[in-house]
Amino acid sequence: MEVRLVMAGVGRWGGNVLKSLVALEGCAVEKTFDPSDEGRARARELAPRAVPADSFAAMLEGCPDGVVIAAPAELHHPLAREALQKNLNVFVEKPLAMNAAQGRELVRLAEERGVVLFVGHVLRYHPAMDAIREAVRGGRIGKILTAHARRTNFGRVRSVENVVWSIAPHDIVNLVEIFGEWPDRVSCSGRANIRSQITDYALLTLEFPTGRLALVHVSWLDPQKKRELTVVGDRGMLLWEDAEGRLEFLPNWAEPSSDGSTAHHTGPAERLAITAGEPLARELAHFVACCRGEEKPLSDGREGLAVLKVLAAADGSARQGGKPVEVE
C-alpha cells in the first residue's frame, strides 16, 4: 500500500526531509505547504509532483495517511494539534512543542484518537547508535559509569528556540538509550551572547536516579564542527565521532589496587563497524511503516514529552545560575 503524505515547512532542514521523502519507496508526497517564497520554490524543485497548498488547512484536505511537519519550532504545537484533531498520523520535528503543557496536549490527542504521533529524534536512528547499543547491552564496556556528548559548530543562532532546545534533544535521547533511564535532575549553565534571552552556548549535567552523571556541551559559537559521544564503562570506553564516521572501542579502565593505588588498564583502540544507512531515511521509512500500522514509533509522543521536561528543567536551572532542578 502506498502511503499518501503531505508536508509543511520546507526550510533548510525541511528541504532535507522532503528530499528524503521523495526518494523513499512506498510513499508519495501529494501536497506541500510553506508560507515563504523561498520555501515554496524549494518544494517545487524537490517535489515537482506535489501540489503546493495555499494554507496548512488546505494541505490537510483529502485525509492523507500522514502529515510531516518541519516548520519552525514555535509552530510545532499548533500545526500538530490541528492535524491530530483531524485524526491524522503526524510526524513532527523536535522539539515536540515549546513547553510540557503543549506536549501533554498533543500526546493526549494522539492517544484519544488512536493515531501516530512521531517525533523527529533523527539521531536515534543513526546506524552508529545501533552499534553503541549492541556494545553496551552486550557488556562490552562493563557497567556504564558516565558519558559526555559534544555538539558544537559555528551555527545559525535562532530567534525563538535556544541552543539547548535546538540541539540537545539529540544527545538527551541517545544518553537515555545508553543509560536505560531518564535523568531526574538537570544542571545547566549557559549564556546568550548574540541575541538577548537566546542561549547560544550551554553546558548541561544530567543526573540519573542511579547516581550516574552525563555531560552535554552544545554551542553555536565554536570554530569546530564536532558531534562526539564518549561512553565510559568500568571495563572499557566507546568513542563516536559522527563527523568522521568513526566509532571505536577502547579497552581502557581504572580500578583500585590492593596497595591503595589505582591500576590503569589500556590497550589498542578497535574500530567498530557501522552498517550503511542514512539516519533521516531510516527514520522516515519507520514513520511510513507506522502509518501503515506495521510498526510502533520508537520516538513517539511520550518520548518527545519526556525530552521537553528535561529541557524545561535545563531552562529553570540556567535561570538560577546553574542550580540543579528536578525534572518534572
- Is residue 303 included in any domain, yes or no? no
- For residues 62-70, give the mean pLDDT: 97
Q: Are residues 114 and 163 in the same domain?
A: no
Mean pLDDT computed over 89-95: 98
Q: Which residue has the higher pLDDT, 119 or 155?
A: 119
Q: Is there a single domain that holds both residue 244 and residue 292?
A: no
Whether residue 304 is contained in a domain is answered as: no
Q: How far apart, in Å, are the Cα atoms of 285 and each of 130, 184, 208, 290, 328?
A: 16, 32, 32, 9, 32
What does the pLDDT read at residue 82? 98
Helices (H) and strands (E) in the chain, counts: 9, 17
Region 242-255 average pLDDT: 94
Quick check: is 186 in a domain?
yes
Average pLDDT over residues 225-235: 96
pLDDT at 159: 85
For residue 231, what pLDDT is reported?
Answer: 98
Query: Are residues 138 and 251 located together in one domain of the fold?
Result: yes
Q: Are residues 42 and 191 in the same domain?
A: no
Query: What would the 3-class secondary structure string for 114-177 be?
Result: CCCEEEECHHHHCHHHHHHHHHHHCCCCCCEEEEEEEEEEECCCCCCCCHHHHHHHHHHHHHHH
Residue 153 within any structural domain of the chain: yes
More confident residue, 287 or 258: 287
For the whole model, what pTM was predicted?
0.94
Would you state the pLDDT for residue 180? 96
Residue 170's pLDDT is 94
For the chain, what is the domain count? 2
Based on the fold, state whether residues 105 and 20 are members of the same structural domain.
yes
- 248 and 158 inside one domain: yes
DSSP three-state, residue 42: helix
Per residue in 31-59, pLDDT (tens digit) is: 999 999 999 999 999 999 999 999 999 99
Regarding whether 128 and 116 lie in a shared domain, the answer is no
Average pLDDT of 146-158?
A: 95
CATH of the domain at 79: 3.40.50.720
What pLDDT, in 10s, does the model give residues 268-322?
A: 999 999 999 999 999 999 999 999 999 999 999 999 999 999 999 999 999 999 9
Q: Is residue 285 part of a domain?
A: yes
Same domain, 318 and 170: yes
Half-sphere exposure of 252 (CA within 13 A, CB side): 13
Write the DSSP assignment of 201-228 as a string of letters: EEEEEEE-TTS-EEEEEEESEEEEEEEE
Whether the Cβ atoms of residue 305 and residue 286 lie closer than 8 Å to each other: no
| CATH number of domain containing 138 | 3.30.360.10
> Which uninterrupted H or E stretch holds 103?
helix 100-113
For residue 79, the enclosing domain spans 3-122+280-297
Residue 266, domain member (yes or no) = yes
Would you place residue 1 in the very low, low, confident or very high pLDDT band (cuts 50, 70, 90)? Answer: confident
pLDDT (0 to 100) of residue 92: 98
102 neighbors 75 (Cβ within 8 angstroms): no
Give the list of residues 6+ apart from residue 153 with CB closer than 8 angstroms, or none. Answer: 219, 220, 222, 224, 225, 226
45 and 132 part of one domain:
no
Q: Are residues 194 and 144 in the same domain?
A: yes
Domain shared by 165 and 314, yes or no: yes
| Domain-located, residue 39 | yes
In a domain? residue 116? yes
**C-beta of residue 268 within 8 angstroms of C-beta of residue 249:** no
- My answer on whether 97 and 27 are in the same domain is yes
pLDDT beyond 90 at 260: no
